[in-house]
Amino acid sequence: MGRRVLITGGAGFIGSHTCLVLLEAGYDLLVLDNFSNSSPEALTRVAAISSVSLNSTRLQIEHGDIRNPHTLDQLFSDAAANDRPFDAVIHFAGLKAVGESFQKPLLYWDVNVSGSRTLLAAMEAHACCTLVFSSSATVYGFPKDVPIPESAPIQPINPYGFSKAAVEQMLADLNASAPNTWRIACLRYFNPVGAHPSGQIGEDPLGFPNNLFPFVSQVAVGRRDQLQVFGSDWPTHDGTGVRDYIHVMDLADGHKAALDSLLKEGPQHLICNLGSGAGKSVLDVVNAYAAASGQNIPYALVDRRPGDAAITIADPTRAANTLSWRTKRTLSDICRDGWTWQQANPMGYRESA
Ligand code: NAD
Ligand code: UDP
């Protein structure tokens, strides 16, 4: 039997791609998700791509909420009773929309912070002390220097970022309370985009997309008329904002690398950027997507979006040194795979769900 991992939020964008990579690597998975921002169809497709049976020992699904201590206690107790305890947890479940976090801060503290606390309490109670946590480059706020090393100050600028920083601090405190017990990897993602090359799974935002990449995809497929480019007077090579876009399959590989390392190397508290180290502007993305899709992507240059940084780029050195992980896929791979997904599923999972 393979190692067994509890994946919270495993039906979501990054979770579903990571499930695929872990199943293909031989891990057995139990996904806990409340489907507040995802569809069970994503996991049906993950099972199909990896040729495992849904709800077999390889891939189980539990519809539940990380904030419910009884649900978590039951999962860990059942796992132990069946002699299949969890070797580790990968914790994706959470809310991620920066704008919404200003409107509903208590919800963000509840799901992201209280939910993580409830999960950690269950892990502690059941002596499961290996965790990979989804953090974010958002914790750096407006970075002073780019590329951004992990040693840069943590200074969030929105409630979402504060919620991630709070969980990072909770993990540091927990680790300090029980030295040589916990195996923790906090992964600070930069901008995850793209899709599995099969076009079967990908990003499926509910409603109006806040992020650049899904918006560009929806313009290309004809769901939206034009992109608004937020600012053309940034101090960048073409005046538009620069980000470090990372193919979601590279990110999924990064989770496998972190999990393998924690299970192999023993107690530690690793904090690691996951990014490519390369910056691309909004117009770079538009041009690459137009080239990959063969579609015209109309856009209008408009005012800056409040709260945006000019440039965020990861310093990915630590991930290379500690996890032997680096990105392999290019912006053109990202656009090609994103377009394959968008074309095959113009309305996301909804049509087939
Ligand atoms: P997503 O919304 O697609 O996935 C999150 C999943 O968690 C969804 O399936 C959702 O239904 C589930 N979920 C939410 N609240 C839950 C709860 N209370 N109980 C159980 N399940 C719950 O988001 P994603 O892009 O896959 O992001 C995964 C993680 O990575 C999140 O924690 C996010 O904050 C973090 N992150 C994402 C990005 C990004 O740009 N996508 C960047 C940095 C960090
Ligand atoms: N952006 C844009 N139009 C959009 C969405 C985003 O011009 O409709 C820009 C945004 O200003 C930033 C970049 O695209 O420079 C990436 O934005 P996204 O929201 O995807 O990521 P984040 O800013 O959270 O890193």
Structural domains of the chain, ranges and CATH numbers in brackets? 4-351 (3.40.50.720)
- Which residues does a 6 A CB cutoff place in the pocket of ligand 1? 8-9, 11-15, 33-38, 65-67, 92-94, 96, 111, 115, 134, 136, 189, 192
For ligand 1, what atom is nearest to the CA of residue 66?
Answer: 19
pTM, two decimal places: 0.98
Q: Examine the residue annotation and report whether 289 is marked as an active-site residue of this protein.
A: no
Average pLDDT, stretch 17-38?
A: 98
Q: What percent of the chain has pLDDT over 90?
A: 96
Report yes or no: 32 and 75 within 8 Å, Cβ to Cβ. Answer: yes
* Helices marked H in the chain: 13-24, 40-49, 69-81, 98-103, 105-108, 115-125, 159-177, 212-220, 248-265, 282-293, 317-323, 331-344
Q: Give distance in angstroms: CA of 282 to centre of ligand 2.
A: 7
Cα distances from 137 to residues 157, 279, 293, 311, in angstroms, run 11, 14, 29, 12
Report yes or no: 313 and 277 within 8 Å, Cβ to Cβ. Answer: yes
Ligand nearest to the CA of 244: 2
Confidence of residue 2 (pLDDT cuts 50, 70, 90): confident
185-237 pLDDT per residue, tens: 999 999 999 999 999 999 998 888 989 999 999 999 999 999 999 999 999 99
Pocket flag, ligand 2, residue 282 (CB < 6 Å): yes
The pLDDT, as a whole number, for residue 1 is 74
Per DSSP bridges, beta strands 88-91 and 4-8 are: parallel
Average pLDDT, stretch 109-125?
A: 98
Pocket flag, ligand 2, residue 191 (CB < 6 Å): yes
Average pLDDT, stretch 57-83?
A: 97
245-260 pLDDT per residue, tens: 999 999 999 999 999 9
Q: Give distance in angstroms: CA of 317 to centre of ligand 2.
A: 25
| pLDDT at 352 > cutoff 80 | no
Atom 19 in ligand 1: residue holding the nearest Cα: 65
Ligand nearest to the CA of 37: 1
Q: Give distance in angstroms: CA of 187 to centre of ligand 2.
A: 21
Atom 18 in ligand 2: residue holding the nearest Cα: 211
Atom 19 in ligand 2: residue holding the nearest Cα: 211
For ligand 2, what atom is nearest to the CA of residue 282?
Answer: 14
Residue whose structure tokens are 């290996």: 130
Q: How many residues does the chain have?
A: 353
Which candidate in 108, 140, 160, 245 is catalytic? 160
Q: Give distance in angstroms: CA of 65 to centre of ligand 1.
A: 12
Q: Give distance in angstroms: CA of 241 to centre of ligand 2.
A: 7
Average pLDDT, stretch 9-29?
A: 98
Confidence of residue 353 (pLDDT cuts 50, 70, 90): very low
Ligand nearest to the CA of 157: 2
Exposure b/e, 13-38, CB count within 10 A at least 16 = b: bbbbbbbbbbbeeebbbbbbbbbebb
- The C-alpha atoms of residue 273 and residue 149 are separated, in whole angstroms, by 8
The pLDDT, as a whole number, for residue 351 is 67
For ligand 2, what atom is nearest to the CA of residue 241?
Answer: 15
Pocket flag, ligand 2, residue 147 (CB < 6 Å): no
Pocket flag, ligand 2, residue 230 (CB < 6 Å): yes
